[in-house]
Structure 1
Amino acid sequence: MPGELSRTVISLFHRKREVQQQGGLLNGDDPSAFNEHDPIRLWIIQVGVIILMTQLLALGLRKMRQPKVIAEVLGGILLGPTAFGRIPGFTQHIFPQESRPYLSLVANIGLCLFLFLVGLEIDSGIIKRNAKLSAIVALAGMILPFGFGAALAVPLYNKFIPKDVEFTHFMLFTGVAYSITAFPVLCRILTELKLLDTTVGIVVLSAGVGNDIIGWTLLALSVALVNAGSGLTALYILLTCVAWTVFLLFPAKFALRWIARKTGSIENGPTMFFMTVTILLLFGSAFFTDIIGVHAIFGAFVVGIIVPREGGLAIALTEKLEDMVSILFLPLYFTLSGLSTDLGLLNDGITWGYTVAICVLAFVGKFGGCTLASKYMAGFNWRESSAIGSLMSCKGLVELIVLNVGLTANILTPQVFSMFVLEALLLTFITTPLVTKLYPPHLRVRATASGSPFAFVGDEEAARRERRSRADELTKSRFTVVLDKIDHVPGMMSLVQLLQPARPQITRSRPSSVSDDDNAPAKSPASPLPGSQSIFVNALRLIELSDRVSAVMKSSAHDALLKSDPVLAIFRMFGQLNNIVTSGTLAIVPFDDLAYNVAEQAQRDDADMIILPWLPPHTDVDGYGAPLAEPVTPSAKPSTNPFDAMFKTGSGSHAEKSASVIHSQFVRGVFSQAKTDVALFIDQVGPEPSPISAAGTRHVFLPFFGGPDDRLALDFVVQLCASEHVTATVVRIIKSEEGHPAMPVQQPKTDKEAEEANAMTVASGIVGFPDTVYGQATTETRLQSETADNIAWARYASPAANEPHDPALTRIEFTEAPAGEPLHAAIRQAEASGLDARGRPRELLVLTGRSRRLAVENHANELKGLMEEHGNVGPEVKRTIGDVATAFIVVGCGSAVVVVQAANIPLD
């Protein structure tokens, strides 16, 4: 047609002029005004308000050990008409009614992703391993609550529900809401309370899985009945849903496993192609279940169940999706739920009476059913049974999803919806404190010994008595080695290898029948120390528990992760090659509980000593381990100081400083909470080979100042020298009259002050900054300590030393050195011992006591001078390792430094 092109071009310009103004601050428009052609601005404002509110509430509730879902639900309620909605103009500007469809779309997409993650969390193997107990608890925890919910539905329906709603539909939703258990929240509570490896935790986890599967099936049935126009239609919907579920559970599951294997996703994590197929299947299943009359979340949930679990694929898949779901999508969903929750509707006594009845019956049904079933059918005692009932009564976000489905289907009114939301919030809130009260840690029974051949499971008093009986033993045979990074493995292997006692030499041509007397190891010149045949090492692998779902999944898959963890695998192989009895334990706990977990695990293992690693931050390598193009300080010599990140004038980055400070707080926490001896291994070499890993003789230097820590170090040196490849130099530093004055002795004014001063170790009450604070030494305690020092020194340095230690003592050189400046003298002696007889450098391991209690001298002034000369360190260093070790760190003396602290075990 003539002129068509011109008219088209003109129309385009005409449309350009008619395009609606987008507005903006420069035009004087309100950026929060809703524009259906450009909803992104208001949507971003809404997301910002929601996330900020949720995170602020989570900070406070985390201190109360409450799950994050409480903050999300409470934040949604506060942003709704209950609180902020009463502010004039707030809802109209931030959450206008016309903008909610956009929020709802994003929230429902996130809900499908979340139900997919819930399906990923469910492991059918847990049910198979505990089928009988889990079935008993799960059925009892659903039948009784469902009956209570159905009974309460009668008065609720007559009082609050319009008559155009079918009673059977309302009764079904009420029963499902009562019988449901929040499995995702339950997993996090079990993990944070350290119940996963207890008999209670295993049963609750298994019952929660079964409860979740049955609950979602009942929800799908409820939605099908509501959406069906007749009973025959409901049957068709149900049969179609069952057929789709069977298709997913068998053909689709096998196909997905085949794709995972072909793409290498099981071995190397999910590939892009596997992720694409999984996401398409997820939303395709959600679309199908939605169009047949069942909610879309059911289809997403089933797809999560069929993802292969081999090789940690489900965990890796969760790690790729969980952040956006938990940070963005779920808070949006709960805010929409909160916008529909108006607690102001509970405005009379009758309504509150029904609300209280809803809360009481919901708790009694779950708690009573699970508790009675656990006691009389599963054989648990009352404490364990009540803990199971309390945990199964956790509602969390799963019931809220059920309630929102009912509200969307117009089965629940806003008033009844608000009643049930309050019930879900209350029951979730009381779960953690109730379980802590009913089932305290000292009464918990662990299902396994966590893989340790010498793990102790029993009452703590018996272990305490046993440790008292071994208080005078000098040889240590049981160790708990802490590993939280693969970088720690080389140093820990080197130190553990030194601890292995010498083995008796066996003649190859020995006769086939040898008497016991002929085979006695005590007669062998290379026999181990008396009473020690080998050492037992339990490698404790620490993984910090974060807010992520994948961290909780790792806790649930504890046994599989224990076998596949590369750090533990390397350490176990090291033990086999060196004939050292080793075991592995894995702990996934929050950062605040890491130190407590180490102390608790050592006590459970009945360990003689905890060994901690501390590696330096390396500023001369990039994030991938490759050297930097230019040194941070080109003119400076590369420092091997492990505390370089704490130097006030050093080149460490702010991130390195923060990492070192955080790790120092963890180490100080172990020092303060441990009930056994502790050794801190500090590697001063960094990325170079381990300082004591090379073949040949290793030399140990110990400056002996006195005090319980130094006495422990002296015993430790003797044990190390039982190996013919270890020699040592022990120098007793005696303060002369010249130089700095000794630490004054303060007399107690009262008996109470004397009793407090005699306390060896007192844990600091400052949360987040664990430390070890010691009472002021009195004349009596000082004299006792000096007497013990003299006895310990005479035992080893005297020519009349005990015969069993003669082989070790022949490799130790004992000297005494009066000095006006003890630290300077100790460093000079260490540098001299770092040279062999020919004057060649040799690997030197410096061993010191932490010396933060009953120390003979106060080295503060001398240490200050050393730091002015060689470089300053932050206060975290001295608080962590003490003044003597800090001096060697500042000077850089020795390839490695081991700092030991003696346990405080009163004998009364």
Structure 2
Amino acid sequence: MPSLSFSESLIHVARSASNVFARTAPTQGGLLQGQNPAAVNTTDPIRLWVIQLFIIICFTQLLGLLLGRMRQPKVISEVIGGILLGPTAMGRIPGFTNAIFNPLSIPYLNLTANIGLVLFLFVVGLEVDTRLIKRNARASLAISAAGMILPFGLGAALAVPMYTKYIDTSLVSFGNYLLFAGVAMSITAFPVLCRILTETKLLSTAVGSVTLAAGVGNDLVGWILLALTVALVNASTGVMAVYVLLCVTGWALFLLFPVKWGFRWLARKTGSFESGPTPFMMTLTLLLVFASAFFTDVIGVHAIFGGFLAGLTMPHDGGFNIALLEKFEDLVSLLLLPLYFTLSGLQTDLGLLDRAVDWGYIVALCVIAFVGKFTGCASVAAFFGFNWRESSAIGTLMSCKGLVELIVLNVGLSAGILDTRIFSMFVVEAIVLTFMTTPLTLLFYPEKYRTSTGETALVVEEKTEPAPRTTTFGLRSEERIKSRITVVLNKMEHLPALMMLTQLLQPAPGGPAQSFGTRASSIDESDKYNPAPTTLPSLAGLPTLLPGLIAPTSTAGATPVRIDALRLIELTERASALFKASVTDDLVRSDPLVNVFRTYGHLNRIPVSASLAVVNYDSFSSSVSRHVAQHGSDLVVIPWGPQAMGTSVLEQAQTGASGTTSYSGPLANLFGSTPSTSAPANSPSSLLYSQFARRVFAEAPADVALFIDRGLGPSETAGGYGQHVFFPFFGGPDDRTALAFVVQLCAHPAISATVVRVTKSDLPTEVDLETPAPTHHTGKDNIASTLNAGMTVHSTHYPDTVYGHNTTQFRLASSAADDIAWETVARPEGGNDALTRVSFSTLASSQPLHVLAQRAHHEERSSGSWKSLVIVVGRGRRLATESHHGELSQMLAEHGRETSINSDIRKTIGDVASAFVVSGSRASLLVMQSHEAQA
């Protein structure tokens, strides 16, 4: 049956409901009294509606899983699913249509679908941003115009023979059909275009930027022409059509100016720009959407135009439109919109296309629609300087039809311009062109030929296996003060860690300062912290730290640390994420994480610059690498907060029978070794973040530090200040870089450090005999294994850092470089205020990891309640002076965690860091990796 208009559906449902009062109340027993829940019941339509909903959603989602592997947009599965549920396929099963999609139940389904369609057009209006056109005004407007004029003309030419063969000339005028056919052939599906650009990773390129801007212009003109077509069809005379168009124009101007101004004023007064739309603003928004839909429907256009105009009315200040989009999109796209496409499928009968001439016209429709779009858009793009690959990609992308043409076709069907046969022909054309858009785009414009457009735009790079890094031992990466640092902003819980670390990297401002004493020369002595006034640490002495570390200068002339904050936002299939991807320039100024960190830097006189990238999660690491290369960063800091590890920061220490202390803190829970009410650290989210960090380690063209923050305990938040660093130096490029970084940290008067050079011996030493026996964990510590027993996570082999081949000559050169670095730091010539806060010692042990774990616990206890401990370790991947695998496995067995540890996390942080984690240390952990310069 033909589709009912929005107003007709309301009237039909109201009349059906009015009959309820004239009848006897039906029995409420339902299924228990033998009633058929699928039977049509106009007094209680919810039962059959729910059945229809389940069938539609499940069927289209299953198709979406299959077609998604072919990189097809979701709309394809929804349209094909509707066709298969209609008379083309399942409707041919005897009794199926009458039982599930009975004609008496269609008005209720139609009403729900039209509500969803109005809300969807409201969402489309929210996504329209004329600023996209302004960025590439000349090229986008020219491409948009060419992409409409040429296919419109070719479509009008094909409309002549189709009109005489398929259209009832007594009911539909040639002018109306001509205008409608031209619009259907020339329109581009902007919402589907966004999703295809995302799937093909083109949103960050010049091609994606221009295509998106051209799509916005094409969409606006297309909806205007469709409104004109419907007005002409519904108007009885030409004068009445003019009145209808004038009414629509007046309503649009009323919404876009006084209503929009008033809406902006109310949103500002209610704080909706800062905190998102309030319930009052949401109520006004819904009323405006449906009032606008009602007005455009009753004057003879269509309800969808009212929803579209309401979306254009919404202000974009402070991301208000994105916040609205997030509230509407799931309900509309997942629940209501599939109902509309199923209705389209129920009205599509491919069985009517049983003649060769029908399929001949379908082929002609596909060829003309594609050739018209491709030729017009590609030729104009080439005129504006795009090469043939880029021009071909633009032409192909602009030929996408998707759901917009299907909406146009349904409007034409309900208006009586099309019959079922020609409607089905146009539906096939829309499906074919949308289906071929993605593969043709990838064929014309593969990833290796793409270039990105800018810093805050989307970052998409070709993923390649990183080449092994050339190894030199000239102390290159550790010679420099880390003055330009990139920090990764991913989650809100990362902010405290980044704030603490960046504050400690910045030397205290000039003037008197407090020094927290000089550490004892031996770590075996009791640590005493007696604050005493002193002068600021001068960086002038740091040239004696390592050769060429920093040029002699005064404190006042020292170069401050500059922070480059890179905000990463995951690009998902949601429309709000796609819209964020197109407005990154504005989003970087309004993002709360960026603003908090930027304000923190301003208050502490730390130069902070911010960039933002909206990318797929798999592209996070390549975004970081690209940002580091562009900004010339010396160090990349990846935070890993307590919440990311799925633990509370306020867990208590436990004392074992042997007198040693074991901890169930966040580092222990990194391996899932302790129960937690939050997600275990071995959860897929923790493993994904671990793999992201590992990719950055392998790909970043700079030194990398993974900062695992334990957070602040109750005693520290009560007024404590300062940090103590514990650093075991085994040797290798990572440890040499970490050694220089520890000394740089100690330039801050609130930081002290204990540095131990560790040598692994073959036989037990006195230190081994003095080390207490390890505490064996049982009971609760094994709960995590039970929690993780049902979860299977496949370890993926990611590229890792490669410094060189572990030959004898290589080891000797590395050992010599270690000796030079240690002698230069531990026995410097001349005074250096930073080194007065560093305690140096040596350690020989046959079980160094056990000894270091106990020393770390000792450092935690002796740091006091006002100084927290940070353990700094070199990652030591692929170039460990000593192998720790055997001892680490022994520690895992001793602590009962060999079944709960995940190999991916061990590979990410390295064996030495894993030993501290296994021992249950409560200290924060900084894992550093050196980027060896090319020879």
- CA drift of 1:143 comes to 0.8
Q: Distance in 2 between matches of 1:367 and 1:67?
A: 20
Residue 516 of structure 1 is matched in structure 2 by: none
**Which residue, 204, 213, 232 being the options, matches 1:225?**
232
Relative contact order, CA 8 A, sep 6+: which one is greater? 2
In 1, the alpha carbon distance for the partners of 2:538 and 2:894 equals: 51
Letter in 1 for 2:760: K
Contact kept? 2:716, 2:868, Cα under 8 Å: no
> Counterpart of 1:882?
910
**Pair 464,197 (structure 1): closer, same or farther in 2 beyond 3 Å:** farther
Change over 3 Å in CA distance of 1:522–1:833 after alignment to 2: closer
Deviation at 1:329, TM superposition (A): 0.8
Would the aligned equivalents of 2:365 and 2:429 in 1 still touch at CA under 8 Å? yes
Match of residue 530, structure 1, among 532, 539, 550:
550
* RMSD of aligned alpha carbons: 4.4
Q: Deviations over 1:833-886 (max 9, x none)?
A: 5577x9998533212233342434443443344345446343153243232212
What are the equivalent positions in structure 2 for 1:197-216 lying under 5 Å apart? Answer: 197-216=204-223
Determine the structure 1 residue equivalent to 2:5.
none
Name the CA shift for 1:471/1:158 in 2 (closer, same or farther; >3 Å): farther
> Separation in 2 of the partners of 1:565 and 1:17?
58
Which segment drifts farther, 226-235 or 302-311? 226-235
Shift of 1:348: 4.5
The answer to whether the 8 Å contact 1:668/1:771 transfers is no
Inter-partner Cα distance in structure 2 for 1:94 and 1:805: 90
Cα distance, 1:647–1:202 mapped onto 2, change above 3 Å? closer
Name the residue aligned to 1:49: 55
Residue identity matched to 1:389: G
**Alpha-carbon distance in 1 for matches of 2:820, 2:700:** 28
1:472 paired residue number? 476
Cα distance change, pair 815–57 in 1 and its aligned pair in 2 (3 A): farther
Task: Tell me if 1:736 matches 2:761.
Answer: yes
CA distance in 1, matches of 2:471, 2:208: 30
Instruction: Output aligned runs, 1:604-643, within 5 Å.
Output: 604-617=630-643, 639-642=664-667
- Matched with 2:86 is 80
Partner of 2:910: helix, strand, or coil? helix
Match of 1:565 in 2: 591
Aligned pair in 2 of structure 1 residues 835, 657: CA closer, same or farther (>3 Å)?
closer
Which residue in the other structure is 1:515 paired with?
none
Is the 2:493–2:643 contact (alpha carbons within 8 Å) kept by the matching residues of 1? no
Q: Which residue of the other structure, out of 785, 795, 812, is the alignment partner of 2:820?
A: 795
Change (3 A) 1:427 1:466: farther
Task: Kindly indicate whether residue 725 of structure 2 is the aligned counterpart of residue 705 of structure 1.
Answer: no
SS at match of 1:360: helix
Residues 1:716 and 1:56: Cα distance change in structure 2 (over 3 Å): farther
Alignment partner of 1:244 is 2:251: yes
**Letter in structure 2 aligned against 1:248:** L
Q: How far apart are 1:500 and its partner, in Å?
A: 4.3
For 1:554, the equivalent position in structure 2 comes to 580
TM-superposition CA deviations, 1:670-706 (whole Å, max 9, x none)? 345545443210012356698999654x433232334
Of 362-371 and 54-63, the range deviating more from structure 2: 54-63
Change (3 A) 1:464 1:803: farther
**Compared with structure 1, are the counterparts of its residues 717 and 785 closer, same or farther at alpha carbon in structure 2 (3 Å cutoff)?**
farther
Question: Quick one: which of 919, 922, 928 aligns to 1:891?
Answer: 919
Given that residues 668 and 919 in structure 2 are in contact (C-alpha distance below 8 angstroms), is that contact kept between their aligned partners in structure 1? no
* 1:590 aligns to 2:610 (yes or no): no
Amino acid at match of 2:284: V
Provide structure 1 residue ranges, at least 5 long, that are not aligned to the other structure: 1-13, 507-520, 741-765
The separation in 2 between residues aligned to 1:383 and 1:336, in whole angstroms, is 39
Alpha-carbon distance change, 499 to 61 in structure 1, aligned in 2, over 3 angstroms? farther
> What amino acid does structure 2 have at the position aligned with 1:855?
A
Range moving further from structure 2, 350-359 or 650-659 = 650-659
Partner in structure 2 of residue 339 of structure 1: 346
Check 1:717–1:567 CA distance in 2 against 1; reply closer, same or farther (3 A cut): same
* SS state at 2:665 partner: coil
Residues in 2 aligned to 1:96 and 1:841: alpha-carbon distance in whole angstroms: 74
Change (3 A) 1:80 1:396: same
- How many angstroms does 1:770 deviate by? 4.5
Residues 1:655 and 1:232: Cα distance change in structure 2 (over 3 Å): farther
Partner of 1:753: none
**Is the contact between residue 226 and residue 408 of structure 2 (CA under 8 Å) also seen in structure 1?**
yes
Structure 1 residue 710: Cα displacement:
3.6
* Pairwise CA distance, 1:198: 4.0
Quote the residue 2:565 is aligned against: 539
**Cα gap change, 1:16/1:341 in structure 2, threshold over 3 Å: closer, same or farther?**
closer
Matched with 2:320 is: 313
Q: Distance in 1 between matches of 2:352 and 2:217?
A: 36
Select which of 808, 812, 821 maps to 1:783. Answer: 808
1:478 positional shift = 3.7
Q: Do 1:642 and 1:686's aligned partners in 2 also have CA atoms closer than 8 Å? A: no
C-alpha distance in 2, partners of 1:712/1:445? 34
Q: 1:724 to 1:788 in 2, by over 3 A?
A: farther
> What is the CA-CA distance between 1:108 and the residue it aligns to?
0.5
After TM superposition, the score normalised by the length of structure 1 is: 0.82
Q: Tell me if structure 2 keeps the 8 A contact 1:530–1:804.
A: no
The alpha-carbon distance between structure 1 residues 173 and 204, as it changes in their structure 2 partners (threshold 3 A), is same
Secondary structure at 1:612 match in 2? strand
| Correspondence 1:109 to 2:115 | yes
What letter is aligned with 1:882?
A: G
Aligned to 1:253: 260
SS in 1 for 2:643: coil
CA distance in 2, matches of 1:352, 1:804: 89
Report the residue type matching 2:476 in the other structure. Answer: D
Amino acid across the alignment from 1:226: V
CA contact (8 A) 1:504 1:526 kept: no
Counterpart secondary structure, 2:921: coil
| More off after superposition, 672-681 vs 796-805 | 796-805
Alignment of 1:286-305 (within 5 A): 286-305=293-312
- Where do 1:263-412 residues align within 5 Å? 263-376=270-383, 378-412=384-418
Q: Write the mapping of 1:142-153 to structure 2, written as runs, cut at 5 A.
A: 142-153=148-159
Classify 1:183/1:634 alpha carbon distance in 2 versus 1 (closer, same or farther; 3 Å): farther
Q: Aligned partners of 2:336, 2:93: CA distance in 1, in Å? A: 26
- Structure 1 residue 287: deviation in Å? 1.3
Q: For residues 352-375 of structure 1, give each alpha carbon's deviation from its aligned partner in whole angstroms, at most 9, with x where no partner exists.
A: 332222222212222221221122
| TM-score, normalised relative to structure 2 | 0.80
| Distance change in 2, residues 1:893/1:410 (3 Å) | same
CA distance in 2, matches of 1:183, 1:110: 18
CA distance in 2, matches of 1:380, 1:603: 26
2:72 alignment partner in structure 1: 66
Counterparts of 2:711 and 2:136 in 1: how far apart (Å)? 50
Q: Is the 8 A contact 2:487 2:636 kept in 1?
A: yes
Structure 1 pair 371–101 and aligned structure 2 pair: CA distance change class (3 A): same
Give the whole-Å Cα distance in 1 for the aligned partners of 2:540 and 2:934: 37
Give the CA deviation at 1:112. 0.6
Q: 3-state SS of the aligned residue for 2:756?
A: strand
Count of matched residue positions in the alignment of Structure 1 and Structure 2: 843
Which 10-residue stretch deviates more, 246-255 or 293-302? 246-255
In 2, the alpha carbon distance for the partners of 1:140 and 1:430 equals 21
* 1:699-752 Cα shifts (integer Å, max 9, x gaps): 332323345544443444354455565444333333322479xxxxxxxxxxxx
> CA 1:710 to 1:91, structure 2 compared with 1: closer, same or farther past 3 Å?
farther
How far apart, in 1, do the equivalents of 2:715 and 2:628 lie? 29
Q: Does 1:33 align with 2:59?
A: no
**1:189–1:839: structure 2 CA closer, same or farther, 3 Å change rule?**
closer
Residues 60-112 of structure 1: CA distance to partner in whole angstroms, max 9, x if unpaired?
44444433222322322232233333444333322222221111110001111
- Residue 51 of structure 1 contacts residue 328 of structure 1 at CA under 8 Å; is this kept in 2? yes
- Whether 1:823 aligns to 2:849 is yes
Counterpart secondary structure, 2:427? helix
Query: Residue type of the partner of 1:322?
Result: E
Q: 2-side partners of 1:633 and 1:332: how far apart?
A: 58
The aligned amino acid for 2:44 is: D
